[in-house]
Amino acid sequence: MRSSLPKVLHPLCGRPMIEYVLDAAMAATGSRPLVVISPATEAVRAVVGDRAGIALQAEPRGTGDALRAALEALDDDVEDVLVLSGDVPLVRSELLTALVEARDLDAAALSLVGVDAIDPAGLGRIVRNDGGTVERIVEDKDATDEERMIGEINAGLYAIDAAWLRRRIGDLRPSPATGELYLTDLVRFAREDGRLVAALDVEDDGRLTGINDRVQLARAEWDMRVETNDRWMRAGVTMIDPSTAYLDHGVELAADVVLEPNVTLRGATRIGERTRIATGSQIIDSDIGPDCVIWASVIERSTVEDHVTIGPFSHLRPGAHVGRRSEIGNFAEIKNSRLGEHVRQHHNSYLGDAEVGADTNVGAGTITANYDGVRKHRTTIGERVFLGVDTMLRAPVTLGDDSRTGAGAVVTRDVPPGKLAVGLPARIREPRPIPPEGEDTGS
């Protein structure tokens, strides 16, 4: 991978690739997996957490040595050992279940998966006898020219009789070519012991290809994204251009959601019924309610209630909560603030560390000056407040219900309910009566 990040921690659709392997293993066995790491891949331990046990391979010396380290960490009552590679994230649990059943059915020492590869170069070949029985596996580096002509490759998935494995694991010897201990030598050991090696043959659909570089990583991401998008569309989601809809594994979509082109949904994002995510939007770890429209905007770790419109070019930073039927317009920014029902914040404004009551209008250019250079302070805005154009609210400050500010007001002290704040610094006045709509004001 040419990376300081361990290979199995590179993300696919928002998750480290090893998490997909753990999911498949748990689904197939009902047991907690065991992950083998080395000192160079210690970072895997923190990512795996409680989902799996950890075995340490102190000095990486090949797959056989990794299996030895795992076996030492397993309980003595384990009867079957299922071996997977952490860099094959597209493997399905159904195949793993079939692999275990094949070993049990034939009472084989082990079972493996063979793939008639389109391009077997660099991969271990399965060598069979004239009767078709698996006799051994030869790694590409150790293979003869004749053996490299074999098209059937070893997929690196095994189900093994644990009791037999404990007797034979110590017989592995380093490869003359690489010095590594090959797990695949166990196939030869089984035949020497007169035990059967069962093989499941599967087609080469790319799902069992290990990821060894960024090109293969990108191909796996594409395959996984196509599969994910197809599943959501069959569940009632419309994608105008599925090839430009980027969904992480943890995203949840309700029926009748519409995703326009060039939409990215990351993390644990949830989108409610009939909501439209319009072109250019990116939503990360956020809850969006039903019947909303989000257009060309960025929403991070925020909550948006139902019937809300946002954008274009708005930014909800972490901690934003927008109440139902609110309207957030172009170039509006909200951070760590809660907006009540039917708040209108239409353009070029910033609300940070604020509480905004229902039916409040936020004028263009309004900002909360929430940071004094040392600490953040909160602004509290009541219900039915009207904030004039270019209002600056120097926190901490409170504006009572039905209060108003004039254009360009710099509010440095609390505004009582129903009062008007005008000027720089703002002075408190009685508001002028608002004429009924349509009445001639003489201006």
CA distance 376 to 373: 8
Tokens representing residue 206 in the block? 């790319």
* Beta bridge partners of residue 309, listed in sequence order: 293, 327
Angle at 28 between CA 20 and CA 140, to 5 degrees: 65
Residue 10 known to be catalytic: no
- Tokens (6 digits) for 128: 């069979």
Q: Two tokens at 153?
A: 């490759």
Name the residue among 304, 310, 235 with its Cα closest to residue 280. 310
Which residues on neighbouring strands pair with residue 54, listed in sequence order?
35
- Dist CA 367 CA 381 (whole Å): 12
User: Distance between CA atoms of 337 and 355, rounded to whole angstroms?
Assistant: 6
**Rounded to whole angstroms, how far apart are CA atoms 93 and 55?**
22
**31 Cβ contact partners less than 8 Å away, ≥ 6 residues apart:** 25
253-91-232 Cα angle (round to 5) = 15
- Among the options 321, 346, 347, 377, which is catalytic? 347
Active site residues: 347
